[in-house]
């Protein structure tokens, strides 16, 4: 997530929207790798997507061996002002004295959402975009990456300056520095233990210190590691990736934490800072090729309702969906989202019926077919032919969605059918997500059942090296100091 610190901030002129005039219709803008919907007009939508595409190019240059494009789609909702943003953001941030957000990232196995507020203040016009895109790149590590490092890296990359002649990376955040000089820093053991439920994360003042200090420590370690040819930050990430306690891992990777705290305080107090530069990451973007269409009010409400459902605001999602279906009883998106809500509520049969209706309405969502099949298998309902066809349709609509391959393989196994195809499906799921241990185990089990233990071991041995290692995002490959 991205927060705002009200210290010497500059107005976000690049995306400022006038308060006067009639509200713009919701539009959908598609670039080669992203889809955005906004109530701020197509020109603002083009500008935002242009920056996402440019930051994607930066990450492809910095991490050439990483997969920067997730298998699940990325949908960006760009709200034109605070009112529209608050109608969608998590309820935890709407209470008094909670930290003010300018954007957030929601990651699920089947979908990636980014919510932006376009009228937020900030020292860097595209900071929110770069911050949330970094969270997208870090989503593979969300189950083990400590919150301070997750936010620290997002803060580090948000200060990127992309120009035609090259990219300046990790420029100092003077707002963060001033805030820390005025308010002091958390003890490092406390910083390392902050999680999403901590007061230090949600409270306006404490949260601002947390974000600023996370940036300062990440910046200090990134720059000094590169300057001194050390790898403390990568060592730390590898330790927590092995599920070591984050404080204990910090002591082993960084050394004496009291000494590190004093070094960080001195770093914050200094007046000059280094940053990195890459000369070959500029990406020409032709936003004239972006596809734009105007959304109807019903379509826009259905998209917002789906975001609310993923954002744990089920009551608000249901209320909005009721109005959508009242105006458009055949709205596909509403059927799909209600299937998700019923599934998460534990109402499997109701969920299956919503997905079944969506299929009859000719849904083109791979998730509808996948969840219909998965629920039917779990509930013992639906025909075998219908389940098989649904899983094949899910694969056809999204050939990169590994769970559909694995589910179809398990479906064949349970019926003792097509053993060769089941094995190939499991291997395909493993190849799509090489770091997914469950797919490796599933493929290995098939080989063990075929009495081929040497092949099973061959699959399991490279599991750790096949995973997306911490240094792929924590250690940029080729920047230099200016």
Domain count, the chain: 2
Is the pLDDT at 334 greater than 60, yes or no? yes
Of 287, 321, 349, which marks where a domain is finished?
287
- Mind listing the pLDDT tens digit for each residue in 375-433? 999 988 889 999 999 999 999 999 999 999 999 999 998 999 998 898 889 888 877 87
**Residues 276 and 412 reside in one and the same domain:** no
447 is a domain residue: yes
Q: What is the predicted pLDDT for the residue at 454?
A: 57
pTM of the model: 0.81
Q: What is the predicted pLDDT for the residue at 19?
A: 33
What is the average per-residue pLDDT within 199-214?
86
What is the average per-residue pLDDT within 80-93?
88
Of 268, 287, 306, which marks where a domain is finished?
287
The more confident residue out of 458 and 374 is 374
- Mind listing the pLDDT tens digit for each residue in 211-238? 999 999 999 999 999 999 999 999 999 8
316 is a domain residue: no
CATH of the domain at 35: 1.10.390
262: tokens are 């004093």
**Residues 408 and 283 reside in one and the same domain:** no
**Residues 42 and 176 reside in one and the same domain:** yes
- Place 7 in a pLDDT band, splitting at 50, 70 and 90: very low
- Mind listing the pLDDT tens digit for each residue in 340-351? 999 999 999 999
**Residues 44 and 183 reside in one and the same domain:** yes
The more confident residue out of 31 and 141 is 31
- Place 18 in a pLDDT band, splitting at 50, 70 and 90: very low
308 is a domain residue: no
Mean pLDDT of the chain: 84
346 is a domain residue: no
Q: What is the predicted pLDDT for the residue at 356?
A: 95
301 is a domain residue: no
**Residues 270 and 416 reside in one and the same domain:** no
Q: What is the predicted pLDDT for the residue at 450?
A: 57
71 is a domain residue: yes
CATH of the domain at 464: 1.25.40.10
**Residues 54 and 195 reside in one and the same domain:** yes
268 is a domain residue: yes
359 is a domain residue: no
Of 287, 313, 336, which marks where a domain is finished?
287
- Place 300 in a pLDDT band, splitting at 50, 70 and 90: very high
Which range marks the domain in which residue 58 is found?
2-287
């Amino acid at each position: 997530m991205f927060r705002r610190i009200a210290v010497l901030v500059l107005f976000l002129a690049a995306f400022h929207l006038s308060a006067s005039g009639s509200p713009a219709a919701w539009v959908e803008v598609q670039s080669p790798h992203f889809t955005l919907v906004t109530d701020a007009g197509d020109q603002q939508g083009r500008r935002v997507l242009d920056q996402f595409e440019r930051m994607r190019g930066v990450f492809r240059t910095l991490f050439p061996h990483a997969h920067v494009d997730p298998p699940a789609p990325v949908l960006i909702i760009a709200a034109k002002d605070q009112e529209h943003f608050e109608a969608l953001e998590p309820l935890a941030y709407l209470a008094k004295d909670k930290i003010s957000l300018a954007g957030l990232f929601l990651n699920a196995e089947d979908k990636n959402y980014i919510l932006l507020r376009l009228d937020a203040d900030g020292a860097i016009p595209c900071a929110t975009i770069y911050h949330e895109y970094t969270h997208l790149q870090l989503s593979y590590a969300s189950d083990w990456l400590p919150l301070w490092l997750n936010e620290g890296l997002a803060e580090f990359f948000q200060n990127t300056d992309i120009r035609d002649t090259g990219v300046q990376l990790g420029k100092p955040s003077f707002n963060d520095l001033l805030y820390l000089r005025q308010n002091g820093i958390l003890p490092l053991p406390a910083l390392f233990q902050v999680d999403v439920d901590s007061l230090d994360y949600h409270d306006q003042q404490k949260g601002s210190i947390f974000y600023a200090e996370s940036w300062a420590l990440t910046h200090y370690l990134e720059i000094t590691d590169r300057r001194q040819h050390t790898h403390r930050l990568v060592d730390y990430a590898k330790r927590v990736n092995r599920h070591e306690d984050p404080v204990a891992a910090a002591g082993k990777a960084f050394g004496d934490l009291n000494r590190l705290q004093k070094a960080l305080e001195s770093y914050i107090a200094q007046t000059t800072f280094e940053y990195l530069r890459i000369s070959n990451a500029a990406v020409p973007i032709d936003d004239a090729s972006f596809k734009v269409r105007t959304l109807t009010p019903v379509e826009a409400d259905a998209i917002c309702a789906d975001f609310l459902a993923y954002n744990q605001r089920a009551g608000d999602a249901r209320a909005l969906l009721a109005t959508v279906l009242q105006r458009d009883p055949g709205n596909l998106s509403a059927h799909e989202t209600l299937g998700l809500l019923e599934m998460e509520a534990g109402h499997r049969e109701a969920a299956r019926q919503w997905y079944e209706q969506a299929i009859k309405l000719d849904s083109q969502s791979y998730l509808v077919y996948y969840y219909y099949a998965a629920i039917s298998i779990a509930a013992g309902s639906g025909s075998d032919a219908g389940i098989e066809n649904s899983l094949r349709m899910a694969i056809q609509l999204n050939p990169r969605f590994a769970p559909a391959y694995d589910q179809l393989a398990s479906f064949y196994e349970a019926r003792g059918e097509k053993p060769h195809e089941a094995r190939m499906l499991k291997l395909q799921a493993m190849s799509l997500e090489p770091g997914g241990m469950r797919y490796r185990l599933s493929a290995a089990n098939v080989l063990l059942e075929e009495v081929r233990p040497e092949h099973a071991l061959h699959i399991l041995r490279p599991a750790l090296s096949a995973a997306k290692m911490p240094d792929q995002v924590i250690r940029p490959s080729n920047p230099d100091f200016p």
